[in-house]
Structure 1
Amino acid sequence: MNVLLSAAFVLCWSSGFIGAKLGAGSADAVTILMWRFLPLAAVLAGVSLLMRASWRGLAARDILRQAVIGALSQSGYLLTVYVAIQLGVSSGTTALIDGTQPLVAGALAGPLLRQYVSGRQWLGLCLGVSGVAVVTLADAAAAEGVAGWAYLIPFAGMLSLVAATFLDSRTRTPVVPSVAMTVHFGTSAVVFTVLAAAFGSALPPAETSFWVAVGWLVVLATFGGYGLYWLVLRRSGVTKVNTLMFLMAPVTAIWGAAMFDEPFGVQTVLGLALGLAAVLVVHRGRGRGRGRGGAPGGVSGSRNAAPSPVDERAVRAHRS
C-alpha cells in the first residue's frame, strides 16, 4: 500500500508542471492561475467557517505575514513557473530548477539564520546546480525560438520560494496548516484576479482544453498532490517524503517528453542524475550528522511527524 501511495503522490505532484504545459496553449498564465485559485479559495473559506477555533489567538499581523508568505510561495512562484513554460522552457527543466530550492535554502541557512551548514550540504548544492546547468543547456540547445533569458524565470520563482521559507522560519506565532493554506489560497486568488483584470484576461476562453487544464490542476495537482502528501507523511515520515519530492524532476521530464515531445537526451539524463546525487549526498549527511531539522537543506523543522518550513513551502506552493 505504501508503494502505491508513494507512486500516486509522485505522479499527482508532478502533474502540476504537466498541467501548466497543458493550459499554456489555451490561455494566459494569469487566467489559468486565477481560475485555478478561485474555486480553491472558495472551498477553503467555507471550511474555515467550520473551523473557526483554528483562527483564535492570531493577530492581524500574523494574518498579514501569512499573506506575504502566500504571495511569495504561491503567487510569485507559480507565476514564474507558468510564464516560463508558456515561453517554451520544458516542464522537466522547470521542475529541476525548482527542485533545487531545499538545497539553496539549506546552503543559505548558515549566513542568514546562523545555523550549521556542513561541507556535505555545500557539495550537494554544487552537484544540484551542476545538474540544473547541464539540463538547462541541453534544453536550450534543443528548443527553437526560446529566448535565453526565459530560463532565468524559474530561478526567480525558486528564489521567491526560498524567501518565503526564511520568512516562515522567523514566524513565532504557530499557525495551523488549514489556516495558512486558506490565507495563501485567498491571497493568490486576489493577486491573480487583479492581474488578470488588469491585463484584460479575466474571462476564461471557450476552449474545452482550458477547463481540462484547470480541472487537471485542481483535482490532480492540488487535492491529489496535497492530500497524498499528508497521507504519505503520516504513514512514512518526513525523510520518505523528502526523498519522493526529488523524484519529481525526472518523472516530469519523462512525462513531458512522452506527452509533449520535450527534449530528453543524454545530457538530460546526466543532469537529472546529478540532481538525484545531490539529494543522496545531503540525505546521507543528515542521517549521520547533527540532524538539524527535517528538510533536505537543513533549515529547520520537526524531527517527527510535522513537515519543516521547506517542506510546507513546497506543499503550499504546488503546485506547481
Structure 2
Amino acid sequence: MPAGTDPRARGAWLAGLAPVLFVLLWSTGFIGAKFGLPHAEPLTFLAVRFAVVLLLLVPLALLWRAPWPGSGAQAGHQMVVGALVHGLYLGGVFMAIDRGIPAGLAALIVGLQPLLTALVAGPLLGERVGPRQWLGLALGLGGVILVVLDKAGGNLGSGLDPLGLGTAVGALVGITAGTLYQKRFAAGMDLRTGTAMQFLGALIVTSALALGLEEGRIDWTWEFIGALAWLVVVLSVGAISLLMFLIKRGEVSRVASLFYLVPPVTATIAWALFDERMGPLALVGMAVAVVGVGLAVVQPGRRGAKRL
C-alpha cells in the first residue's frame, strides 16, 4: 500500500484479502498430510504438531505481552474450541485417510460443513440465512460433489471401512461445532493467546487418544519434518489465525461457506505438485463452487456488496 494511505482503507484492503489467503493456506493442509502420514500414525502426528505449535506460540505471546484469558471459564472456552476445531476435526480427517477412506470422499463429507453450519446457526446464534445464501450453499455443495466425482472416476468406492467413515463424520461434527462454539462463547479472544489455549486443548485430546489407540510410531525422515514444519507454521499458525479473525469479524454461516473452495483449490495444488488428473467435470465443479461461495458470502446492500 502507498505511504500515507488511510489506515481504514488499508485495513479494509487487508480484510478483503484475508478470505482468499485463508482458502489458499487451508487447502495446503491435505497436501501436507499426504506427505507426512506415511511416516507417522495420524494422532501421534497431530500431537507432535500441536506441541510444536505451542512451543512457538507461547514464547511469542509472552514477548508481545498479549493478554491471556481473564478467567478459568474463558480459558476453558478456548480449549473447547481447540479440541473441536483442531483435535476432533483434524483427528477425524487424518484417521479416515489412514484407514483407507479416499481423500475425495473425506473431503466431500467434511464439505457438508457449511450447510450444517447454516442449518443450526439460526436457532443457536440468531443469524438470518436468506434465500440467496441457501442458493449459494447448495451450488457450493454441488460444485464440491462434481470435483470429488471427477477425482474418484465417478465411483466413490465400496467396501469402505465403517470406522473410517465414522471418523470422517466426526470431523464434520467437530469443525461445525467448533465454529459455532467459537462465535457464541469465545469470539472476543486475543488471537495470540487464544490460539495458544486452543492448541493446548487440541494437544490434550489428541495425546490422550494417541496413547490409547496408537503405538507412537514416527519415522523422522526429511519429508516428514518438512510436512510437519509446513503444517505448523502455515496451517496451525497462519491459516488458523485467519480463520479466527474471519469468525470474529463476520457471520459464521458466511465464513463457513469459504470451506467450499478448499476441495477445488486442493485439487489444483495436487495437480500442480503430483500431476493428479483434473478432468472437465472437476473444472465445471470448481466454477460452480466459486459461484456458490460468491452468492453465499457477498450480500448486496444499498451501497454495494456486504462481505465477511
Q: Is the pair's TM-score, using the shorter chain for normalization, greater than 0.5?
A: yes
Q: Conserved in 2, the CA contact under 8 Å of 1:16 and 1:217?
A: yes
Return the alpha-carbon distance in structure 1 between the equivalents of residues 288 and 273 of structure 2: 24
Instruction: Give the Å deviation of 1:37.
Output: 1.1
- Aligned pairs for 1:150-229 (under 5 A) are 150=164, 153-171=167-185, 174-225=188-239, 229=242
Indicate the residue corresponding to 1:66 in structure 2. 78
Instruction: Give the Å deviation of 1:283.
Output: 2.9
Instruction: Give the Å deviation of 1:170.
Output: 2.1
Q: Conserved in 2, the CA contact under 8 Å of 1:37 and 1:189?
A: yes
Q: Conserved in 1, the CA contact under 8 Å of 2:297 and 2:307?
A: no
Which consecutive residues of structure 1, in runs of 5 or more, have no partner in the other structure? 296-320
Normalising by structure 1, report the TM-score. Answer: 0.72
Give deviations 1:248-282, integer Å, cap 9, x for gaps.
Answer: 33221122234345453233233333322211221
Indicate the residue corresponding to 1:257 in structure 2. 271
- Aligned pairs for 1:295-310 (under 5 A) are 295=308
Instruction: Give the Å deviation of 1:139.
Output: 4.0
Instruction: Give the Å deviation of 1:157.
Output: 1.7
Normalising by structure 2, report the TM-score. Answer: 0.74
Deviates more, 1:206-215 or 1:24-33: 206-215
- Aligned pairs for 1:1-320 (under 5 A) are 11-50=24-63, 54-55=67-68, 58-89=70-101, 91=103, 94-95=106-107, 98=110, 101-140=113-152, 141=154, 147=160, 150=164, 153-171=167-185, 174-225=188-239, 229=242, 247-260=261-274, 262-284=276-298, 286-288=299-301, 295=308
Assess, with a 3 A threshold, how the Cα gap between structure 1 residues 92 and 219 changes in structure 2: closer, same or farther: farther
Q: Give the aligned length.
A: 286
Return the alpha-carbon distance in structure 1 between the equivalents of residues 187 and 260 of structure 2: 30
Assess, with a 3 A threshold, how the Cα gap between structure 1 residues 206 and 168 changes in structure 2: closer, same or farther: closer
Instruction: Give the Å deviation of 1:109.
Output: 2.0
Which consecutive residues of structure 2, in runs of 5 or more, have no partner in the other structure? 2-12
Assess, with a 3 A threshold, how the Cα gap between structure 1 residues 90 and 220 changes in structure 2: closer, same or farther: farther
Instruction: Give the Å deviation of 1:203.
Output: 4.7
Give deviations 1:12-43, integer Å, cap 9, x for gaps.
Answer: 33221100111122221112111211111122
Q: Conserved in 2, the CA contact under 8 Å of 1:253 and 1:264?
A: yes
Identity %: 33
Return the alpha-carbon distance in structure 2 between the equivalents of residues 256 and 272 of structure 1: 14
Give deviations 1:74-115, integer Å, cap 9, x for gaps.
Answer: 101111222233345555665565455345423432233333
Return the alpha-carbon distance in structure 2 between the equivalents of residues 257 and 87 of structure 1: 24
Deviates more, 1:45-54 or 1:214-223: 45-54
Return the alpha-carbon distance in structure 1 between the equivalents of residues 128 and 303 of structure 2: 9
SS at match of 1:202: coil
Question: Which amino acid in the other structure matches residue 29 of structure 2?
Answer: G
Return the alpha-carbon distance in structure 2 between the equivalents of residues 111 and 155 of structure 1: 22
Q: Conserved in 1, the CA contact under 8 Å of 2:44 and 2:214?
A: no
Deviates more, 1:64-73 or 1:120-129: 120-129
Assess, with a 3 A threshold, how the Cα gap between structure 1 residues 40 and 155 changes in structure 2: closer, same or farther: same
Instruction: Give the Å deviation of 1:291.
Output: 10
